[in-house]
Amino acid sequence: MKKIRVNLKENSYDIVVGHNILSGLGAQIRALDIGDDAIVITNSVIRKLHGKALSKSLAKKRISVKFLEVPDSERSKSATVAFRLIQQIAKMDVKKKMFIIAFGGGVIGDLAGFIAAVYKRGIPFVQVPTTFLAQIDSAIGGKVAIDLALGKNLVGAFYQPKIVFSDVALLKTLSNRQVRNGLAEAIKYGVIKDKKLFSYIEKNSDKLLSVDLKTTTSVVLECSRIKAKVVSADEKERKGIRTILNFGHTAGHAIESACAYNRYQHGEAIGIGMRIAGAIACQRKMLCSKELQKLEDLLDKVGLPAKAKGIKLSPVMRAVSHDKKIIAKKNRLVLPQGIGRVRVVEGVPTSVIKQMVTRYMA
């Protein structure tokens, strides 16, 4: 079991990473002294697979456990579901010292964190991420949110967990598609900050695709370190440092929204987004064509789609122009300057973006 510290003054916390460590969760929570009664927000799939092990670990330390299940869907990140759960929690909240455990992927983490942030103006919460993407990305950094019909993550807060507890063995039950989805974010970390990590993923892609525990644990650790460092330097995304985590996300989000979030999963869409950002960087001579090829080869190798299929250019371009990074009408793109370094570039001509987006559409 290894620990990484997220340094945020009074909001600091540890990320615990290891494999087959779930039995130690109760002790970690006890040491934090955050309460005796756990409300575990999850869905039926995750509960069936891993719920018993979680309960056992908490019971060992005399922490009471109450599971609250939500449907297995992005649609659970809604005001309706959130307020249904809040009502249930309020009814149970008699002579209790409650805290929340988010036990699931990014959907559960964002929803449970949102509830923890607003119920009684904030109660403690713990992230026990169960997807690759959640362990290396969404569970770290305190961005919690629900969606509106108008857009994703529009209602939320920065609300940090008390601990992130990542048991990599939980990832063994993920589908191959979910593993690839997480690998896209891992590759992103390699490109933005860590050439060695990129090469490690290149060399070990087969092991990572089959969730070999030792290899996957080192990648989860490395990515968590990078995210912890970036978040520690810019908790609330005010200094522009957190922006680099958005590499591949401008076009990626645009692709996701253009297909109404049902054709491509997040990692798949940002995989295409990274190719587009790489091609724009190449056109601007920030990245050489060999390096772009290296990035594309790795994305191909782990089985991420090379092109966005069945999507029209206009909704993608519309979504690009609504990107939240835009300041004073100038678009801002995170572009690679080689593998391991990125730069935020302002005002890339729309014609260039259009040309590169078109190149990656089938």
Ligand X SMILES: NC(=O)c1ccc[n+]([C@@H]2O[C@H](COP(=O)([O-])OP(=O)(O)OC[C@H]3O[C@@H](n4cnc5c(N)ncnc54)[C@H](O)[C@@H]3O)[C@@H](O)[C@H]2O)c1
110 lies in the site for ligand X, by CB under 6 A? yes
241 lies in the site for ligand X, by CB under 6 A? no
Joined together, the tokens standing for residue 120 give 């009684």
- Residue 208 to residue 323: CA distance in whole angstroms: 32
- Residue 328 to residue 158: CA distance in whole angstroms: 24
Q: In the annotation, is 246 catalytic?
A: yes
Q: In the annotation, is 214 catalytic?
A: no
The 242-271 site mask, x for binding ligand X (CB under 6 A), equals ------------------------x-----
- Could you tell me the smallest distance in angstroms from the CB atom of residue 110 to ligand X? 5
DSSP states of 138-206 as a string?
ITSS-EEEEEETTEEEEEEEE---SEEEEEGGGGGGS-HHHHHHHHHHHHHHHHHH-HHHHHHHHHTHH
Active-site pick, 193, 242, 275, 294: 242
- Residue 236 to residue 150: CA distance in whole angstroms: 23
49 lies in the site for ligand X, by CB under 6 A? yes
Residue nearest to ligand X (CB): 106
Joined together, the tokens standing for residue 144 give 């919690």
- Residue 189 to residue 198: CA distance in whole angstroms: 8
Q: In the annotation, is 188 catalytic?
A: no
Ranges within 18-47 binding ligand X (CB under 6 A)? 43, 45-46
Q: Are strands 13-18 and 2-6 parallel, antiparallel or unpaired?
A: antiparallel
Q: In the annotation, is 318 catalytic?
A: no
- Could you tell me the smallest distance in angstroms from the CB atom of residue 45 to ligand X? 4
Quick one: which of 55, 57, 181, 243 contacts ligand X (CB under 6 A)? 181
137 lies in the site for ligand X, by CB under 6 A? yes
- Could you tell me the smallest distance in angstroms from the CB atom of residue 195 to ligand X? 23
- Could you tell me the smallest distance in angstroms from the CB atom of residue 33 to ligand X? 26
Active site residues: 121, 143, 185, 227, 237, 242, 246, 249, 253, 266
